[in-house]
Chains A and B, each alone.
Chain A
Amino acid sequence: MGRKGIANKVAVIGCDSSKYGELFDKSQYDLLFESTHGALKDAGIVKDDIDAAWVGIFYYFTGLSGSTVEDILRLDGKPVTRTENFCASGMDAFRNACFGVASGAYDVVLACGVEKLTDEGSSRLPGFKLFGHPVLPMPSAPAMFSMAATRCFHEFGWTKEDLARVAVKNHSNGAKHPKAHFRSEISIEQAVRAPMIADPLGRFDCCAMSDGAASLILTSVENAPSYAHADDYVVVKSNAIANYTNFPWYVPPGAVGSDFTYFPATVKAREMAYKEAGITNPRQQIDLAEVHDCFTITELINCQDLQFCDRGKAAEELKNGTFNWDGETAVNPSGGLKSFGHPIGSTGCRMLQEVTKQIQGRAEGRQVPDAKIGLGHNLGGAFSVCSVSILGQSD
């Protein structure tokens, strides 16, 4: 009984992402078509080589069911499953696709994600009134995460400036990436002075509304050498997902997740993923991480939950350059959700195609020097669900 995992069984043989941004002239069909055909081309295969697909989509208006992918790719009856696990929908699609290969059920599978947010207006996450209860409060995403920020300020003494440094770093990284939504550097002062969204989180502490898609082609490690990336295919070392409550504000004191200074889903997924991949010293072993910086506070907490630094020290380590693209553990060299964008269902796949390209030494923006092991971290809901995947070079 228990978790056997899929370490070293599945390989990424092709990947791509669309441009991210406010893409009013493109539909979800265009975006997923572009990223998937990019990934197929990267793998040197055609769409009919795909045996099955999993797609991460969060919002019903982006597309219901796996048939959304059929309507984009015309796969002639191939099985497609839509995964929804809040903002971790994309990485959960990847996880399920891995199982499809590792189980031996399929040879070649597609893991992809897409979200078309701006068709519903670009000012805020749409549709919140459709969720949940008529009167029990359902805070906005910034409000949820700012409750953690308030608590971290109280416990660790962090400040608005500490948060701003996350935004400054990620904007600086994203400015170099041709596919990022925001491609300009910002200053600490700019970030600190921005209008407040959910105190203490201001405009530059929150990721924006973006459209985008990302796709990865997977096959077994045995079969990987027969595709285009025969020499530099990337191996899935582990993936793990953990779910806790949708309502952290009801977790009674003393129960797991009641203190709002760490995310129990991340801790749990990290434990599973590190064990499976044999990670014992993440700060040294992991060269780069694409982590879920939906808000600046989230990235600081992630760095602690993923053990890139000690609890309470993330702000200081960030200030010292530990998480810079050329630092000890590069965090979000792509620019992260903050600068690259966060089309919800696509983000997990976008992170993993970024990690893949970093490990292959062909990152489109900042290339982390000598990257061998990379991590993707996708966090969703009210810190309810977390997916951690670790990719590495083939031996």
Chain B
Amino acid sequence: MIGKAWDFPVIPGTKSIASADEDSITMGVEAGLDCLTGIDPKSIDGLFFATTTQVYTEKDSASLVATVLDLREDIITSDFTDSLKSGTTAITRAVDTIKANKDIKSILVIASDTRVPEPSTMWEYGFSDGAAAFLIADEETIPVSIDDYYSVSANVIGPWKRTGKDKFIRTFEVKMDAKFYIENLTKVMSELLKRNDLQPEDIGGAAYYYNNPRLHGRIAKTMKFGQGVAQNSVWFQLGDLGTPMSFLLLIAALRRPKPDAKIILAGYGDGADGILLQIRDKAKLKEIGKDRMGIAAHQKTMITLKNYNWYLENKELLEKDRYDRKSSAVLIWRDTDSVYKMYGIKCKECGTVQYPCNFRSCYKCRADDQFEKVKLALKGTIFTYTLDHLVGGAYLDTPVPRCVIDLDGGGRILLNMTEIQNPEENVKIGMRVELTFRKAHESANFVNYYWKCRPERGRK
């Protein structure tokens, strides 16, 4: 499609693009939800968020993601940003923080990026969107251990993006970029082997960032990794995901590991991080993978873009007036429990669960002030719906299904549906849906997020 749009030589493969209602925060939430499957969010002691595509430059993402994931308030949160290696850097800092503090036992590390390439450049073939998360914790039962890490810092010449001035990344000389990339990555990985008395053949998997399949091969060769050790499954299928790239490669490497395998995770960007991991319990690792959507289940839900213009419009690369809604940061803050954390209220008199939390009198038995807050399920069944052809004056991606949903365990809610193909045929009363956190609109220069629903994908 890109080749066709610009009459470029065609390169095979696919890449993943975020929907118009997604950004690094919403994708981070999605990865966090999948990672925390079966884990009480209140048991997590910290959240590190790594991205080069910050939604705000002043106002962090980690605290918002932690709120939406319903983590406690007495936790540590931090953003790691401005470098493509900030994901691996966040992991190393999480390890240090947990080691140094007896009160901090677990930190959720999320890497998420939505790097938009400049249209009509070769970057369009690579740059893609994605997110991934790891829960780092100090527990003997965890199936993978982090045994060592080694980092280098380097003031390389490119690429860069100036604050407030560059919409797309710039670079001076891609051959120089490649030189820095190879030097730094091989340095950290070689040093990691040396420090731990390991030979390249001792490594069962290597998950290192790459933005070019040719350079990936050169590193594998330089490092003398064995056949199939260096994970290269991502680029041709999902593209160059940026910060979460090495995370996804690691997840791929953990899918079918050899028992007791040692794995290297490495990130690059103004220096590099190399992290040495050790498989402790293969069976348990497999079990963890089973409960989560992981890469494969998400990949299955990818929808082919209709055409290149659709992409331009959804990434707002075309200048035009867009529909404005009411915005109020105060209201969003006051209604955080309802709109971010997806809490409802349960009547102590009649037991009916309802939404949102603002109400003081029961819809069913009309008892006053008898509510307690309850966490609502992020899944439900459509009770009724309409397919709205005139949503906010939009003519792309319409009709938008607006669905009245009965959530599992109680609570009725109205949500727009996202990522649905042929809604006329596919949306039905009784249809199962999942809730997904999305961007609603950006009126008043504030990003307003809310939940939508989508056809059930299997998130547990």
Contact = CB atoms under 8 A, between A and B. Distances in A.
Contacts of B335: 133, 136
A137 interface: yes
Contact of B450 (A136, A154, A253): A136
Nearest to B450: A135
Interface in B333-386: 335, 338-339, 352-356, 363-364, 383-386
Contact of B386 (A132, A146, A154, A252): A146
B352 A196 contact: no
B177 interface: no
A129 B323 CA distance: 9
Given A196-B399, A252-B363, A124 B429 contact: no
Interface in A122-156: 124, 129-137, 139-140, 142-143, 146-151, 154
Interface stretch (B97-105, B185-193, B257-265, B403-411): B403-411
B406 A198 contact: no
A129 B324 contact: yes
B388 A135 contact: no
A150 B416 contact: no
Contacts of B450: 135-137
Contact of B339 (A136, A198, A252): A136
A199 B354 contact: no
A124 B323 CA distance: 14
A254 interface: yes
A150 B386 contact: yes
Given A135-B339, A197-B390, A245 B326 contact: no
Contact of A253 (B331, B399, B406, B441): B406
Contact of B411 (A129, A247, A252, A254): A252
Given A132-B326, A134-B325, A143-B402, A252 B384 contact: no
Interface in A228-259: 245, 247, 249-255, 258
Contacts of A150: 384-386, 429
B449 A249 contact: no
B399 A199 contact: yes
A250 to B, nearest CB: 6
Contacts of A135: 332, 339, 440-441, 448-450
B301 interface: no
A305 B367 CA distance: 27
A260 interface: yes
Contacts of A147: 384-386, 402, 404
Given A147-B404, A150-B429, A252-B353, A134 B390 contact: no
B317 to A, nearest CB: 24
B327 interface: yes
Contact of A198 (B356, B388, B449): B388
A302 to B, nearest CB: 18
Interface string B302-334: 000000000000000000000111111001100
Interface residues of B, number: 45
A143 B387 CA distance: 8
> Most A CB atoms within 10 A — which of B339, B352, B386, B429?
B386
A251 B402 contact: no
B415 interface: yes
Contacts of A146: 386
Contacts of A130: 326
B432 interface: no
B412 A253 contact: yes
Nearest to A254: B364
Interface in B402-451: 402, 404, 406, 410-416, 424, 429, 440-441, 443, 448-450
Given A135-B448, A150-B384, A199-B399, A250 B413 contact: yes
Nearest to A245: B363
Given A129-B324, A131-B326, A250 B429 contact: no
B339 A137 contact: no
Contacts of A250: 354-356, 363, 412-414
B389 interface: yes
A134 B332 contact: yes
A136 B429 contact: no
Contacts of B331: 133-134
Contacts of A196: 387, 389, 399
A137 B389 contact: no
A62 to B, nearest CB: 20
Nearest to B449: A135
Contacts of B413: 249-250
Nearest to B414: A249
A139 B402 contact: yes
Contact of A252 (B354, B388, B414): B354
A134 B402 contact: no
B363 A251 contact: yes
A252 B410 contact: yes
A137 B384 contact: no
B402 A255 contact: no
A140 B326 contact: no
A81 B413 CA distance: 36
B404 A249 contact: yes
Contacts of B390: 124, 140, 142, 197-198
Contacts of B389: 195-199
B386 A255 contact: no
B386 A143 contact: yes
Nearest to A261: B384
Nearest to B389: A196
Contacts of B449: 135
B410 A134 contact: no
Contacts of A247: 414
A198 B354 contact: no
Given A129-B324, A133-B335, A258 B387 contact: no
A134 B327 contact: yes
Contacts of B440: 134-135
A134 B448 contact: yes
A154 B413 CA distance: 20
A195 to B, nearest CB: 8
A154 B429 contact: yes
B388 A151 contact: no
A195, A198, A258 — most chain B CB neighbours (10 Å)? A198
A131 B325 CA distance: 9
Nearest to B387: A199
Contacts of B416: 137
B386 A199 contact: yes
B412 A252 contact: yes
Contacts of B448: 134-135
30 contacts: A124-B390, A129-B323, A135-B440, A135-B448, A136-B335, A137-B415, A142-B390, A143-B402, A147-B404, A149-B386, A150-B384, A150-B385, A150-B386, A150-B429, A154-B384, A197-B389, A198-B386, A198-B388, A198-B389, A198-B399, A199-B388, A199-B389, A199-B399, A247-B414, A249-B413, A249-B414, A250-B355, A253-B383, A255-B352, A260-B383
The 10 closest A-B pairs by CB, nearest first: A199-B387, A135-B450, A249-B414, A146-B386, A255-B364, A151-B384, A255-B363, A198-B386, A129-B325, A249-B404
Interface of B: 323-328, 331-332, 335, 338-339, 352-356, 363-364, 383-390, 399, 402, 404, 406, 410-416, 424, 429, 440-441, 443, 448-450
Given A140-B388, A198-B387, A260-B384, 13 more contacts: A132-B326, A133-B326, A135-B450, A136-B335, A136-B450, A147-B384, A147-B402, A154-B429, A197-B390, A199-B424, A253-B406, A255-B352, A255-B364
